[in-house]
Amino acid sequence: MTVLQSMYRKSRSHSRVTNSLNNSVINTPTQESRMINSSQRPRQRGLLFVVSAVIAIAVVGTAVSFESPTEAARNTTANSHSASAIQFNEDGELLRPTGYRKWTYAGTPVTPNDMNAGKAPFPEFHSVYMNPDAYDHYQKTGDFPDGTVLVKELISVGTRKATSGNGYFMGEFIGLEVSVKDKSRFKDQPGYWAYFSFGHEYPLLDKAKVQPSASCNECHDGNADDDWVFTQYYPVLRSAKMHATK
């Protein structure tokens, strides 16, 4: 199926999501102890000692053991803004993301050069990763939250033969493209999505400017299935959306 053929299937989601937990204030044990101390009376000292000891043990316990489920949930949601997954410099350029190979894997379209007149516009394998906090949100609601980052890592076709049969097998890393949804930083971009290219050959650029929307955004806007994202090629995201509980 070509990109254009998929247009009729387009169903974009425009929901606006705010991160309500960003505003939540979580008292640290020290703050809590201080609050207790300020209303302290002598006969409460024993009780205070016990409470402080329990808090101290809890703090040490957290440091040496695994995160509790509540703690993990709080951390995941509190970090869901793009600022925690990627960084911009003072000129508004995106610094090349690192660590994305540990993110949630969405899928790998492949446009081999030999099926595209010798040079595919985006060569060749495209492994797509999504920041886990945004994936977490998408899984729950079926919407891409503010702060979604999608990294598309380009990998050449290596060998065409393996013991499993003939085909296309991944060769070397050759490029990197990124899209970011951020309604305050990119309020003028259609759908609040901004697109960045770090090049199609190594060494990659260290930083990238926002691409003009005619270069990237318009094709995504016109052809992608869900909110500028080509979920029709990402089974992981389609499945997550199908099971979203919103």
Pick the binder of ligand HEC from 215, 235, 239, 243 (CB under 6 A).
Answer: 215
Residue 172: name the closest of 207, 123, 102 by CA.
Answer: 123
Shortest distance, CB of residue 200 to ligand HEC, whole angstroms?
A: 10
Q: Are 80 and 145 in contact (CB under 8 A)?
A: yes
Q: From 11-19, 30-38, 60-68, 215-223, give the range in contact with ligand HEC by CB under 6 A.
A: 215-223
Number of chain residues interacting with ligand HEC (CB under 6 A): 23
154 binds ligand HEC (CB under 6 A): no
Q: Give dist(CA 222, CA 54) in Å, integer.
A: 58
Q: What are the helix and strand counts (H, E) for the chain?
A: 7, 9
Q: Are 196 and 208 in contact (CB under 8 A)?
A: yes
86 binds ligand HEC (CB under 6 A): no
Q: Give dist(CA 149, CA 83) in Å, integer.
A: 10
Region 40-69 residues binding ligand HEC, contact defined as CB under 6 A: none
Question: What value, to the nearest 5°, has the Cα angle with vertex 103 and ends 98 and 106?
Answer: 120
- Which x/- pattern, by CB under 6 A, does the window 101-140 give for ligand HEC? --------x-x----------x---x-x------------
Interface residue list for ligand HEC (CB under 6 A): 3, 109, 111, 122, 126, 128, 150, 152, 177-179, 195-197, 211, 215-216, 219-220, 224, 229-230, 233
